[in-house]
Amino acid sequence: MNGNDSLSRQLNRVERGALVAGLLCAAVCAVAGWFDTTQFFRSYLVAYLFWIGLPLGCLVIVMIHHLAGGRWGFGVRRLLEAGTRTLLLMAVLFVPLLFGLQSLYVWARPEAVAASEMLRHKQPYLNVPFFIVRAAIYFAVWLGLAWRLDRAAADQDRAPSLDVTRRLTALGGGGLVAYGLTMSFAAFDWAMSLEPEWFSTVYGVLLMTGQVLGGFALVIIVAAALAKQKPLADAVSAQQFHDLGNFMFTFVIFWAYISFAQYLIIWAGNLPEENSWYLRRFEGGWSGVGIFLMVFHFFAPFFLLLSRDIKRRPGRLAAVAVGVLAVCVVDLFWIVKPAFDRSRFSVHWMDVVALLGIGGLWVAAFVGQLKGRSLVPVHDARVEEEFQWT
């Protein structure tokens, strides 16, 4: 019991610290936003896209585990589920964006639409009421999935039941399809439509890859921090970290694959309406960010994660995961920001504060959810089958 007391004290400390920092940064952002509304919404959008990626990434990983099983996931499933329960907070934090649609998106300004033939043609899809309806649908699907998964997992904690396990498997399969569709369109709506003249069908997959990668990085960091103490120390061993490290490795490669596939196709076609997106990201210092991403979003983690020693040592693996999370922010920044600052690369101080503000609130919510349940699943019908050879 002593160990658990010190654990919950630590969690309380992290929760309070994150909450204070988050509220402080959010307040600074709100005040600054009063004076510079445009910059506020730009910074807020990038920060929001990063932080909503974590709970959605967690949701995907939980569903993959329910569908496919495997020893890698039981020890960290409660951490992932705590992540999915923060989706409600992210749904609330989406609301401020609705007040900035005109400032963020060209297609939301009637005079710009009237002036552009192409925007007029896209108006049946790209208009404010439909945008809001679609966002409501995405959140309904995600919150519904998170709620159903959570309720079934709570049932499982109370009593072992094969029925619940079967229900979770079916939910995982259907949920992954639903996520793929909704998140793809959410990526088109929230980020790709910033440059409405441009389109790429793989854009949604690119953002989803970032989310799942972020989810794995997050769970590695949290598991490494908690694995020093019970109860997680018994559930997560070097083998589990090895598996999670391999997943992170896979998604680093998948990110590179998708990013390069999009680039190669546009480069080979070399059509003006497609290559404008990359041309904008090759000038005024943005190309440096692109090269940074090639090196630190792919080559560096790729070669580090080849090492079995790094993957089996929680501390080292968590250090790599922190780096991966940081580079995920840079990636979103590179994808979204050039749409606004057409001339050159720059970081506004509000970009950083918005990231910390939403981040503080999210971390506080996440830790709050972690405390609510037992940290390891107790009664999964598959657990015993999976652990019999360890």
Partner 1 sequence: MNLTTKPSLHGLLAEFESADSVLAAARSAYADGYRKMEAYSPFPVEGLDEAVGLHHSRLPLIVLMGGIAGGLTGFGMECFAAMYHYPINVGGRPLFSWPAFIPVTFELTVLFAAISAVLGMLALNGLPKPYHPLFNVERFVLHGHDRFFLCIEATDPKFDGEETKKFLERLLPKGVYEVEP
User: Please, what is the minimum distance in Å from the beta carbon of residue 315 to partner 1?
Assistant: 20
User: Please, what is the minimum distance in Å from the beta carbon of residue 134 to partner 1?
Assistant: 34
Q: Are 54 and 83 in contact (CB under 8 A)?
A: yes
User: Please, what is the minimum distance in Å from the beta carbon of residue 270 to partner 1?
Assistant: 7
**Nearer to partner 1 by C-beta: 102 or 239?**
239
User: Please, what is the minimum distance in Å from the beta carbon of residue 265 to partner 1?
Assistant: 10
**Nearer to partner 1 by C-beta: 23 or 300?**
300
Q: What would the DSSP string read from start to end of 224-261?
A: HHHTTSTTHHHH--HHHHHHHHHHHHHHHHHHHHHHHH
Site string for partner 1, 32-61 (x = CB under 8 A): ------------------------------
**How many residues make contact with partner 1 (CB under 8 A)?**
10
**Touching partner 1, residues 287-346 (CB under 8 A):** 306, 308
User: Please, what is the minimum distance in Å from the beta carbon of residue 264 to partner 1?
Assistant: 5
Is residue 389 near partner 1 by the rule CB under 8 A? yes
Site string for partner 1, 246-275 (x = CB under 8 A): --------------x--xx--xx-x-----
Burial class, 94, CB count within 10 angstroms (exposed 0-12 / middle 13-18 / buried 19+): middle
Tell me how far apart the alpha carbons of residues 67 and 169 are, in angstroms, rounded to a whole number. Answer: 5
Cis ω on the peptide bond leading into residue 231 (within 30° of 0)? yes
**Touching partner 1, residues 118-177 (CB under 8 A):** none
User: Please, what is the minimum distance in Å from the beta carbon of residue 298 to partner 1?
Assistant: 12
Is residue 99 near partner 1 by the rule CB under 8 A? no
**Nearer to partner 1 by C-beta: 337 or 382?**
382
User: Please, what is the minimum distance in Å from the beta carbon of residue 240 to partner 1?
Assistant: 13
**Nearer to partner 1 by C-beta: 20 or 264?**
264
Burial class, 99, CB count within 10 angstroms (exposed 0-12 / middle 13-18 / buried 19+): exposed
User: Please, what is the minimum distance in Å from the beta carbon of residue 389 to partner 1?
Assistant: 6
Burial class, 369, CB count within 10 angstroms (exposed 0-12 / middle 13-18 / buried 19+): buried
**Touching partner 1, residues 189-248 (CB under 8 A):** none
CA distances from 284 to 46, 197, 262, 279, 287 (A): 20, 21, 22, 10, 7
Is residue 387 near partner 1 by the rule CB under 8 A? no
The 3-state DSSP class for residue 86 equals: coil
CA angle, 29 then 34 then 40, to 5°: 50
Quickly tell me which residue has 């970081």 as its tokens.
347
286-321 exposure pattern, b = at least 16 Cβ within 10 A, e = fewer? beebbeebeebbbebbeebbeeeebbbbbebbbbbb
**Nearer to partner 1 by C-beta: 132 or 264?**
264
**Nearer to partner 1 by C-beta: 176 or 294?**
294
**Nearer to partner 1 by C-beta: 137 or 265?**
265
Tell me how far apart the alpha carbons of residues 254 and 301 are, in angstroms, rounded to a whole number. Answer: 12
Interface residues toward partner 1, by CB under 8 A: 260, 263-264, 267-268, 270, 306, 308, 389-390
